[in-house]
Structure 1
Amino acid sequence: MTSPVAAAVAAAFKAEWGQVVATLIRITGDWDLAEECAQEAFALALQRWPRDGVPSRPGAWLTTTARNRAIDRLRRDAVGAAKLKEVAAMAYTPETEESAVPDDQLRLMFTCCHPALSIEAQVALTLRTLAGLTTAEIAHAFLVTEPTMAKRIGRAKQKIKNAGIPYRVPPDHLLPERTPAVLSVIYLLFNEGYSASSGADLIRRNLSAEAIRLARVLVRLMPDEPEAVGLLALMLLHHARQATRLSPDGDLVTLEDQDRTRWDAAEITEGVALLDNVLRRGQAGPYQIQAAIAACHATAPSAEETDWVQIAALYGRLSRFVPSPVVELNRAVAIGMADGPAAGLRLIEALIASGRLTGYHLLPATRADLLRRLRRHDEAAEAYREALSLTSTAPERRYLMKRLAEVSI
C-alpha cells in the first residue's frame, strides 16, 4: 500500500516536475543539470518528508532544493564559477513574464518549443523535459531507436547551451510560430496515454486526460487556430471509445468488436460539432482530416456500416499533408476493408519492400490479419509471430497470441 508521503511525492511530481525543471533551466541554462537536480530533489523529498512533514508549498520546496543542488554542483565545477554568481543571486520566484497563456503547463510548452530547433527536436525535448516521457517512449512515437533519439535530444540540448538560447516565455506575438510544435506535443502525449508503447497497461488515462485538458485551454486561447480545434475534436472522438478498448480482464478489444452502446455519446457529439464548425472555414489540415476519419468510426451504427470508402479517401488526402509510412499503413487497412483483403495486402507488401516501417509491430500484425482473412493461415501465423517479437504491451501480446492460436489449429 502506498504511504501518504509517497502519494504526496507522486502528486507533486505530476503537478510540479515541469515547473521545477523549467525554473532550473531558466536559471542555469543547462538542461542536463536541471533534470538531474530535479530528480535529486524528488528523491530527497522521499527521505525528508516522512520526518519533517509534507511542506505547505511542495513546489517551492522542491525548486529550492533542486536549485541548491545545482549551486553545489556548479561550486564544485570550475567551469561553472561564472554561472554560479548569477544563480546565487536568484531566489526562487514563480515565472513572472506576462503572457496570454493562462495555463502553467501550456506556457512551459510554448517556452520549450524554441524555433531555433527543428520541430522534431522541439517536440522531443518538451516531451522529455516537461511531460516526463522516457526516451524510449519518445523514440517509439518517432519510429526510431532509443539510442538514436537519445543522441537527437542530446544534440538539441547542446545546441541550446552553445548558442545561449534563452529559456523564457515567448511574447504573445511569437506564439503562432511555436503552435505547430505544441500541437505535436499534445498529440503525442495523448497517443502515449491512449495506446502505451510498452508495459502491462495499454491505456494511461492520466496522459490522455491531460492532453485533452491542454487542448481545451489552447482552443480557448487560439479559437481561430483551426488545427487546434481539429486536434481537440480528434482526441475527443478517440477518447469516447476508451472504456471499451479493453475487456474486464484487460484484454484488447478491436474496434469491430467494441460495444458501441458504451461509447461516450457526449464526447462524440462534442467532437463532431467541433469538427463540423472548423471544417466550414475551408482550412483543412492533418488534425482535421484525422478527426474526420475518427468521426466516420464514431458515428457508424455498426462495424459493418462503417464507410470504409470514405475513410480510405480521407487517408489518401492525409498522405498529401503527412507523407508518412504509418499513414500509408492505415490507408492499406482502409482499402483492405473497402476493396477486400487482397487489395490491402498489395499495399502492405509494398510498404514492407520499402523498409520504411522495419521494426514497427503493427506492420506484420496488419499483414497477419489480412492473410488470416484470406485464409492463408500458415503465412498469417508467421506474420503473427513476427509481430509478437516486436510488441511490448501485455494486452497486445495476448491479443496476438490468441490470433496466432486461431490460425495454428
Structure 2
Amino acid sequence: MKGSDFQESSSMEAQNQASAGRPGQVIIVGAGPSGLYLAFQLGLLDIACTIVDSLPEIGGQCYELYGDKPIFDIPGFESVRAFELVQRLWSQAQIANPRLCLNTLIGDVSGDEKVGFRLSFFPSAAASCDHASSLLNQERFAAVFVASGVGAFAPKRLRLEAAQALENSQLWYGVLPSDEHSLKQKRILISGGGRRAMALVKRLLQYPAAHAPASIDLIARSGLRTMQDEDAEPSSLILSEALRQGRLRIHQATIRGLCVDEQSGRLVGIDMEQRAPDKSGLVRLPADHLLICHGLSPKTDHLLNWELGMRAGHIPVDPARFETRRQAIFAIGDIASYPGKKKLIVSGFHEACLAAYASCDYVYPGKTIHLQYTTTSPRLLEKFAKPLAQAEGIKSGSSC
C-alpha cells in the first residue's frame, strides 16, 4: 500500500470522528506502533479499548516522520517500511474492534483505580485544553495507557495577527473543514510543501465538479522542488495535470500577513513574499480558506497535571507492569522510563504485552487471568477467524 493511500484510508475522512467499535473499557492515548500493538493484546484479553491520537492518521511519529523509510529491526522482517508496519499493526488490532478518535487531545484526568478515570476530549486544533467551549465530550475508563511517544503532536501555528480568531472557521491546521461541502466554489490556499500539504491538494483536486473549489493555490518556500522530493508517488501525475490545466497554482513564497475585512472580520486574502529567482516582493492573493501545513511539534504539557511524576518529558514506570505511580495508569513506548530502557519499537511491543495483562487487575478485579497461546487456545482461534475480513476492508479504505 502506498503512503498516500494509507493516509486517506486511515483517517483523512474521519476528522474529529470516532470510528466504529465497542465503547472502551480502557483508553490508549497514542496510535503509534506501541499503542496499536497494545490494542491487539487487549483484544486477546477481551478488553474493549478506545484509541485517541492528536494526528489525523494513525502511526504516530513512525508514520509522520519517516513513513516511507525502511525499518530493519522488526522481528520477522528483513526490512519493512514504516507505513506498511503501521498498516499491519492496525489490521492485527482489529481483533479488539477498537474505537478510534483522531484529531483529538486528552485534557485533565480525574478519578482513581477504584471508581475509574474521567477523561476530557478536546479537538487537537484547539489552542488549549482549558476552555470548556472546545470540549468534545467526557468519558470514564477503568484504566489508562499513555503511549504518546515523544508527546502529542500539535501543529505549528501561524504567528500572525488575526490568525487565532480565524481558526476553525476559515483557517485550518493540516486538515480540511469537517463540512467539506463548505469549500464549494471557494478560493483555497494551502501553505506548506510536505506530505500533508500534498495530501490535501490531491484530495481537493479529486472533489467532484459539483463540490470543487473555485481555485487552489499552494504556497511553499522551496516551490515545486520540495513537493517532488516529498512525494514521488505515481499520483503526482494528478498534480502535474492540474498545473497544466490551471486548476492548481504553485507559489514559491512565504505568508507575511492576513487580510481581514474590517466589518465582517472574515479572511479575504493573504500577503505573501515571493522567493522565486525570477520573482520578488509582496503580493496579495485572495483566499476564502487557509490550510496551514507547517509541520508538527511534540508536546507533553497536557500530561503535566496528571501527577505521574514526569521527568524531562518521560514517565517513570514499574518495568514489571509498566504502571505509573498512579494505579491503573500505565505508560509504554518512548514516553516510559525505567532502568535499562531502550527506545525501540520492539521494546514497546514487550511493554504493551505486560501492561495489557497488568490492567486486568482493574478491568477484571479478583479474576485470575490465565495465559493462553494463540496457536492452541480454542477461544483465541475463534477470535482470529473473525477479524480478517475487517482488516481487508481497512486496506481498501472502507474503515472509519
User: Larger C-alpha radius of gyration, 1 or 2?
Assistant: 1
Q: Which structure shows the bigger proportion of residues in helix conformation?
A: 1
| TM-score of the two chains, using structure 1 as the length reference | 0.27
Q: Which structure shows the bigger proportion of residues in strand conformation?
A: 2
| TM-score of the two chains, using structure 2 as the length reference | 0.27
Greater RCO, 1 or 2 (C-alpha within 8 Å, sep 6+): 2
